[in-house]
Amino acid sequence: MQEFESEEDAITGINVTPLVDITLVLLIIFMVTARFISEPSIGVTLPKSSSSTSGEASERNVFLTIDQAHQIFIDNSRVDQGSLGARIKELMQKRPGFHLIVRADKNITHGEVITVLDEVRGQGVTEFGIAVEGK
C-alpha cells in the first residue's frame, strides 16, 4: 500500500460528471423510444385533423385497427369480423374499464368503421376514441 507523503497527493473527491452524462443520455433515449413502444405497429395512414389532441398512451388503451386491406386487428393480433364480438367480450372480462382507440386507415369507408363500432358498442364498450394524425 502506498503511503502519501503530503495531503496534496491524496484523492479527496470523485468526478461524477461522466456518470451524470451517461444517465442523462439513457433517460433521453428512454423518453424518445417509450412513445414508439406503446403504439401499435400495424401501418395505417390516419386521417388528418387540425383539432386533434395528443393523447397520452395508457395501459387502459386497447387499439382496434382497420388497415387498408380491410383487416381488423386488436392490439396487433388479427381478428375476423365474425369473431370481433367474442374477442371484445373476452377483453372486457380480462381488462374491465379499458378505452378502445379506433385506428382506421383514411381510405376505409365511413360505413365500414360504423359497422365495426356498432359491433363493439353491442358488446357494451362505452368509452372509445378515434385516432387521427395532427396537422
C-alpha angle with apex 18: 13 to 19, nearest 5 degrees?
Answer: 85
pLDDT at position 7: 59
- Whether the per-residue pLDDT at 9 is higher than 60: the answer is yes
pLDDT at position 24: 94
pLDDT at position 46: 60
pLDDT at position 21: 93
Element (H, E) at 100: strand 99-104
Helix 110-122, helix 84-94: angle, nearest 10: 50
Which residues are CB-neighbours of 66 under 8 A, at least 6 positions away? 44, 72, 73, 102, 103, 104, 105, 108, 112, 113, 116
Predicted confidence (pLDDT) per residue in 11-66, tens digit: 778 888 999 999 999 999 888 877 655 555 556 656 565 554 555 555 678 888 88
106 vs 33, higher pLDDT: 106
Percent of the chain past pLDDT 90, that is, above it, reads 7
Average pLDDT, the chain: 78
pLDDT at position 23: 94
- pTM more than 0.75: no
Query: Given the DSSP bridges, would you call strands 48-49 and 61-66 parallel, antiparallel or unpaired?
Result: unpaired
Ordered DSSP codes for 20-43 = HHHHHHHHHHHHHHHHHHHS----
Contact, 92 vs 84, CB < 8 A?
Answer: no
Which of these ranges, 24-28, 66-70, 74-78, 127-131, has the smallest mean pLDDT? 127-131
Percent of the chain past pLDDT 70, that is, above it, reads 73
Query: Which grid coordinates are listed for 29?
Result: 433515449
Query: Which grid coordinates are listed for 64?
Result: 382496434
